[in-house]
Amino acid sequence: MTPESSSEPLVQLTNVSFAYDSRPVLAGINMTIPRGKVVAIMGISGGGKTTTLRLIGGQLKATSGQVKVAGQDVAGLDSDELYRLRRRMGMLFQFGALFTDMSVYDNVAFQMREHTDLPDDMIHDLVMMKLEAVGLRGVARLMPSELSGGMARRVALARAVALDPMLMMYDEPFAGLDPISLSIIGELIRSLNDALGASSIVVTHDIQESLKIVDYIYFVSGGQIVAEGTADDIRNSSAPYVHQFVWGEADGPVAFHYPSLPYGEEIQAVADHA
């Protein structure tokens, strides 16, 4: 095991490729997640963003290349070593994924009960602390079905940081939220990352909200990194793909029309066979 160094990146992907059977998803990805930073991975659906998170978490193994987390080669870890590493990661799923038959309190306490020997009174104090951090200490005894979508996402965030992870991963944390809830979640991602001294990876399509909170952005398309930079770099980019994504334009490298015959030719062909 390589000793951790505060100067080395927390996560390093080097020439990483991945394929599902014969279908390539990632091709030669190089990515660095520094300690203490919030990094976004953006791009159109199906570009390999969530696959990248799964490679970092060890659910998948790269076809080639290396994925290192805290100095450890993830693919080379045995099950016990991978389990220990994952205990130092937190994950916020796209729609929260709260346990529906547990109260808010029990959802946040779950990891503490499963992975520690802390007494109940200390778990209580920690659960209240995490819920206070997301502004929801008052809903501790409610069930997930009694929460709004934004509140459920905040509870899921409190659960994800229950064990003070060194790495937080967010898979579309802004999906389906109203503008107020979206802004709150964005601010919490930034503030909790800084408070924990953690690193965060945010997979998202919400470019405008992300530009407010992230330190660095990678754009993935067709399994490759096509652009990267700070928020200002991305805002000012002249790269056609980045410009189209940032400003939500219908026409550009990502075509509005699915490939087909010219419209006039197709109509004429139908008429000829009528």
| Tens-digit pLDDT profile for residues 29-84 | 999 999 999 999 988 777 788 899 999 999 999 999 999 999 999 999 999 999 88
Record the tokens describing residue 150, joined without a space: 């934004």
Share of the chain above pLDDT 70, in %: 89
Each residue's pLDDT tens digit, 78-108: 999 998 898 899 888 876 688 889 999 999 9
Q: Are residues 57 and 109 in the same domain?
A: no
Dihedrals phi, psi of 121, to nearest 5 degrees:
-70, -35
Share of the chain above pLDDT 90, in %: 42
Q: Are residues 153 and 47 in the same domain?
A: no
From CA 182, how far away is CA 170, in angstroms rounded? 13
Each residue's pLDDT tens digit, 162-210: 889 999 999 888 877 788 888 888 898 999 899 888 999 999 877 778 8
Domain contains 209: yes
Last residue of a domain, one of 141, 164, 187: 164
Q: Are residues 53 and 188 in the same domain?
A: yes
Last residue of a domain, one of 134, 164, 194: 164
Find where tokens 């290349």 sit.
65
The closest of 77, 71, 65, 78 to 25, measured between CA atoms, is: 65
Q: 122 or 49: whose pLDDT is higher?
A: 122
Strands, sheet with 11-20, edge to edge from the N-terminal-most edge strand: 23-33, 11-20, 64-69, 72-73
Mean pLDDT, rounded, for 218-243: 83
Q: What is the pLDDT of residue 126?
A: 94
Q: Are residues 20 and 72 in the same domain?
A: yes
Q: Are residues 182 and 77 in the same domain?
A: yes
What domain range is 134 assigned to? 102-164
Q: How far is CA 216 from the centre of its chain?
A: 14
Q: Are residues 206 and 266 in the same domain?
A: yes
What are the residues facing 144 on neighbouring strands? none
Domain count, the chain: 2
From CA 265, how far away is CA 116, in angstroms rounded? 68
Strands 167-171 and 89-92: parallel
Q: Are residues 169 and 148 in the same domain?
A: no
Q: Evaluate if residue 1 carries a pLDDT over 50.
A: no
Q: What is the pLDDT of residue 274?
A: 63
Q: Are residues 62 and 158 in the same domain?
A: no
Q: Evaluate if residue 128 carries a pLDDT over 90.
A: yes
Confidence of residue 269 (pLDDT cuts 50, 70, 90): confident
Q: Are residues 169 and 255 in the same domain?
A: yes
Identity at 210, one-letter amino acid code: S
Question: CATH number for the domain including 188?
Answer: 3.40.50.300
Confidence of residue 257 (pLDDT cuts 50, 70, 90): low
Q: Where are the alpha helices (DSSP H) in the chain?
A: 49-57, 79-86, 104-115, 120-133, 149-160, 179-196, 207-213, 231-235, 240-247, 263-272
Confidence of residue 2 (pLDDT cuts 50, 70, 90): very low
Q: Which residues contact 102 (CB under 8 A, 6 or more apart)?
A: 110, 143, 144
Q: Are residues 75 and 156 in the same domain?
A: no
From CA 128, how far away is CA 225, in angstroms rounded? 41
Whole-prediction pTM value? Answer: 0.82
